[in-house]
Amino acid sequence: MSKQTHSFQAEVAQLLHLVTHALYSNKEIFLRELVSNASDACDKLRFEALNNTALYEDQPQLEVRVSFDKDARTLTIADNGIGMSEQEAIEHLGTIAKSGTKDFMRKLSGDQKSDAQLIGQFGVGFYSGYIVADKITVESRRAGLPAEQGVRWVSGGTGEFEVEQITRAQRGTAVTLHLREDADEYLNAWKLKQIIGKYSDHISLPILMEKEEWKDGELLVPGDENGGRQPGGMVKTGEWETVNQASALWTRPKKDVTPEQYQEFYRAISHDSENPLTWAHNRVEGNAEYTQLLYIPAKAPFDLWNRDKKAGVKLYVKRVFIMDDAEALLPSYLRFVKGVIDSADLPLNVSRELLQESRDVKLIREGSTKRVLSMLEDLARHDTHAAPAADADADGADAVTDVVSEEDKAKEGKYSAFYAEFGAVLKEGMGEDFANRERLAKLLRFPSTTSDGAPVSFADYKARMKPGQEAIYYITADTLAAAKSSPQLEVFKKKGIEVLLMADRVDEWALNYLTEFDGTPLQSVAKGAVDLGQLQDEAEKKAAEEAAEAFKPLLAKLKQALKDKADDVRVTTRLVDSPACLVVKDDAMSNQLARLLKQAGQ
Ligand code: ADP
Ligand code: MG
């Protein structure tokens, strides 16, 4: 078969250009991406071979080999994984199939620095090879296909690629980078090992490199010392050694994993360039047996609000990779969580459909949800370091000095950071996760009329309630500014009563599911006749009654005039400076919710 020339999909050409320019300052990540593709390919083979062991041919030991040729200036990453057919090479290495690509492209600003961050988040994958190479050759054969149906794919990374059929005995893929002039540093075993150690140590397959040993320089003219010496150097020995730890990170005991390794693993699976806020690594035994390694990111991804955004948890069964984005493992309001769950109970051939119905998955989902909530509770607890109550250590006679551990200190401020990024998603849980509603309510935060923008929890609010105050008051509006300046707040301001300001789109909806907090009812200041109960003194009540009586004729006229527009017209005590305001009936939808539903087309 002759060579065929294909054009890259327009987005790929665009991405290629961006990748090579924007990621220039962080070149070495190309190796992480190519090793991770090799590892994915081995995972896929292992998975397909569950139903077809013949795919292993005569090579059941899956591995990745990294080698270089100084003279040819090439670096090769080879795996004996699933490989690609010709058609697959054309599709997978010429287009971007990932969902959200369009979104992603739209977000790019043209500013190198912020784009580099974004690209990292998206996962540049294969194309990152062009940061260091001006030509890439891929040779591959799909497991199960005959040797004659191999494929060679070649491209200089500008617009087009060539594909031809080749004979390739070896199953799997070899990616060869023809290095650019300024990428010499990657023709060095020490440098390569260092990068592999940094980014790919957690990969569960062995990554092999050929051993080198020092060889003294040789006499140019044998036997003649005056003939001069050729300089000594490292030479290849033909023997291969494993250069990574080759055990999946989550299978190692906690004490053997450093925070840096946890963080690097997070960056590898999330494509986030920042460290996570926190993580939890546990082996769970009991009704269900599984290992969970779950991370809370520091920054929301660009597509958090994308409706078909999947959860970020990878599912493994007994260390065999099963699928990415296993949405059945966590509720959708926790879709920002990243990590790995490795089940000992599920069948290896489990499908997405089966997952939805599995009892084991239900247990995993419940356990993982609880784990995430307790991570958040822990961050919330340490967010602002409050001095312990005086009687906290009543059993000790000595004065207790408040010692904050380094670990606790590191958690300060993290919950606010988390909430600023993900608070709105968490609120979805109020409607979605009935069983954990109370725990979730404790994690919610809102600014208030007296907090000067600082987030307030329901518990904080309750602790500050006025004597005689019987409800937690809140107001909803489209924006914080609108909420703050609402005339409905006048009487609360006058009496110095704190009101929670809710200006998030989901607030109104989330609050539908919460009528009280810890025994105290929640009351919208924009609904019905606000009953200030004991907060209103006798004189005020009397004045209001008298006014209502005196204005009866006027009210009747107003009611008549507004009969198509208003249900009722009342004298109110909730206003101080404004002459009138609109309120909704107690049982009716608030203005805000009505607007929201209208926007949603209902
Ligand atoms: P991603 O890995 O996120 O899918 P990449 O750009 O890294 O994106 O890779 C694109 C696709 O190319 C992969 O999904 C896979 O189908 C294919 N591919 C890349 N490298 C290999 C490989 N070593 N073996 C088999 N397929 C590969
Ligand atoms: Mg990849």
Q: Is the pLDDT of residue 405 over 80?
A: no
pLDDT range class, residue 45, cuts 50, 70, 90: very high
What is the percentage of the chain residues whose pLDDT exceeds 70? Answer: 83
pLDDT surpassing 90 at residue 141: yes
Q: Which two tokens stand for residue 239?
A: 């023997």
Q: What's residue 392's pLDDT? A: 39
- pLDDT at res. 386: 43
Beta strands in 344-490 (DSSP E): 472-476
φ, ψ dihedrals at 496, nearest 5°: 70, 30
123 lines ligand 1 (CB under 6 A): yes
Mean pLDDT of 77-88: 97
Q: Which atom of ligand 1 is nearest to the CA of 123?
A: 3
Does 173 sit in the ligand 1 pocket, CB within 6 Å?
yes
For residue 485, CA distances in Å to 430, 466, 477, 489, 492 come to 27, 22, 10, 8, 12
Q: Which of 162-176, 347-361, 388-402, 566-580 has the lowest mean pLDDT?
A: 388-402
Task: Judge if the beta carbon of residue 425 lies within 6 A of ligand 1.
Answer: no
- Nearest Cα residue to 373 out of 285, 325, 302, 435: 435
3-state secondary structure of 317: strand
In the predicted model, is pLDDT for residue 400 greater than 60?
A: no
Q: What is the pLDDT of residues 84-131, one digit of tens each?
A: 999 999 999 987 765 556 666 667 666 666 666 666 566 568 988 999
Q: Is the CB of 284 under 6 A from ligand 1?
A: no
Instruction: Grade residue 309 by pLDDT with cuts at 50, 70 and 90.
Output: low
Q: Are strands 150-155 and 312-317 parallel, antiparallel or unpaired?
A: unpaired
C-alpha 311 – ligand 1 centre gap (Å): 21
Check residue 82 and give its pLDDT.
Answer: 97
d(CA 437, CA 423): 15
Between CA 459 and CA 470, with CA 464 as vertex, the angle to 5 degrees is 85
pLDDT range class, residue 552, cuts 50, 70, 90: confident
Ligand closest to Cα of 138 equals 1
Residues 322-373 have pLDDT tens digits of 887 778 899 999 999 999 999 998 887 777 778 888 899 999 999 999 999 9
Residue 501: φ, ψ to 5°: -105, 120
pLDDT at 268 over 70: yes
Confidence band, pLDDT 50/70/90 cuts, at residue 317: confident
In whole angstroms, give the CA distance from residue 509 to residue 590. 10
Highest mean pLDDT: which of 79-93, 374-388, 519-533? Answer: 79-93
Atom number in ligand 1 closest to CA 38 = 23
CA of 87 to the centre of ligand 1 (A): 13
- Minimum CA distance residue for ligand 1 atom 7: 125
Q: Judge if pTM exceeds 0.80.
A: no
Q: What mean pLDDT do residues 1-6 have?
A: 86
Least confident of 33-37, 86-90, 135-139, 322-326: 322-326
Burial class (CB in 10 A: 0-12, 13-18, 19+), 277: buried
Is residue 385 over pLDDT 50? no
Residue 185 DSSP class = G
Return the residue whose CA atom lies nearest to atom 19 of ligand 1: 37
Q: Is 65 in the pocket of ligand 1 (CB under 6 A)?
A: no
- Is residue 80 within 6 Å of ligand 1 at its C-beta? no
Question: Per residue in 152-187, pLDDT tens?
Answer: 999 998 889 999 999 999 999 999 999 999 999 999
pLDDT at residue 311, rounded to an integer: 63
* Of 229 and 48, the one with more pLDDT: 48
Ligand nearest to the CA of 92: 1
Q: Which residues contact 103 (CB under 8 A, 6 or more apart)?
A: 302, 303, 306
Q: How far is CA 529 from CA 123, 271, 519, 575, 583, in A?
A: 54, 52, 21, 12, 8
Q: Is 79 in the pocket of ligand 1 (CB under 6 A)?
A: yes
Reduced to 3 states (helix: H, G, I; strand: E, B; else coil), residue 407 is helix
CB 412 within 8 A of CB 385: yes
Q: Is residue 546's pLDDT more than 80?
A: no
> Which residues carry a binding-site annotation for ATP?
33, 37, 79, 84, 98-100, 121-126, 173, 352
Q: Are strands 160-166 and 4-7 parallel, antiparallel or unpaired?
A: antiparallel
Q: Is residue 584 pLDDT above 90, yes or no?
A: no
Local confidence band at 397 (pLDDT 50, 70, 90 cut-offs): very low
Choose the most confident range, by mean pLDDT, from 19-28, 463-472, 563-572.
463-472
Ligand 1 geometric centre to CA of 100 (Å): 17
Give the CA radius of gyration of the chain: 32
Q: Which two tokens stand for residue 132?
A: 């260091």
Cα separation, 375 vs 282, in Å, equals 12
ipTM rounded to 2 decimals: 0.99
Cα(270) to centroid of ligand 2, in Å?
Answer: 12
Torsion from C-alpha of 301, 307, 313, 318, nearest 10 degrees: -150
Phi, psi (degrees; rounded to nearest 5) at 273 = -90, -10
Residue 167 zone, left/alpha/beta (φ > 0; ψ -120 to 50; rest): beta
The answer to whether the CB of 114 falls within 8 A of the CB of 24 is no
Least confident range from 49-63, 154-168, 380-394: namely 380-394
Q: Tell me the C-alpha to C-alpha distance, in Å, between residue 287 and each of 186, 345, 373.
A: 49, 10, 20
The answer to whether 317 and 348 have CB atoms below 8 angstroms apart is yes
HEC secondary structure over 301-368: CCCCCCCCCCCEEEEEECCEEEECCCHHHCCHHHCCCEEEEEECCCCCCCCHHHHHHCHHHHHHHHHH
Residue reference for tokens 């062009």: 130
Atom of ligand 1 nearest to the CA of 44: 25
- Assign 16 a pLDDT band (cuts: 50, 70, 90): confident
Going from the Cα of 126 to the center of ligand 2, the distance in angstroms, rounded, reads 6
* Ligand number, closest to the Cα atom of 139: 1
* Average confidence score pLDDT of the chain: 84
- Going by alpha carbons, the residue nearest to atom 23 of ligand 1 is 38
What is the C-alpha separation between 429 and 369, in angstroms, rounded? Answer: 11
* pLDDT at residue 393, rounded to an integer: 41
Q: How many CA atoms lie within 13 A of 454 on its CB side?
A: 11
Strand partners, 290: 284, 343
pLDDT range class, residue 387, cuts 50, 70, 90 = very low
pLDDT band for position 302 (50/70/90)? confident
pLDDT class of 548 with cuts at 50, 70, 90: confident
CA of 33 to the centre of ligand 1 (A): 9
Highest mean pLDDT among 84-88, 310-314, 467-471, 551-555: 84-88
Q: Out of 183-192, 229-238, 477-486, give the one with best mean pLDDT.
A: 183-192
Q: Give the pLDDT mean for 429-436.
A: 93
Strands, E assignment, 334-426: 338-343
Ligand 1 pocket test target in 92, 200, 269 with most atoms within 8 Å of CB:
92
Q: Which of 143, 191, 160, 149 is nearest to 27 (CA)?
A: 191
CA of 126 to the centre of ligand 1 (A): 6
Instruction: Take atom 13 of ligand 1 and give the residue whose Cα is closest.
Output: 92
Instruction: Sort 417 into a burial class: Cβ within 10 Å, 0-12 / 13-18 / 19+.
Output: middle
- What Å distances lie between residue 348 and 53, 278, 402, 504, CA to CA? 14, 30, 51, 42
Dihedral of alpha carbons 491, 497, 502, 507, sign: negative
Question: Residue 89: phi, psi to the nearest 5?
Answer: -60, -45
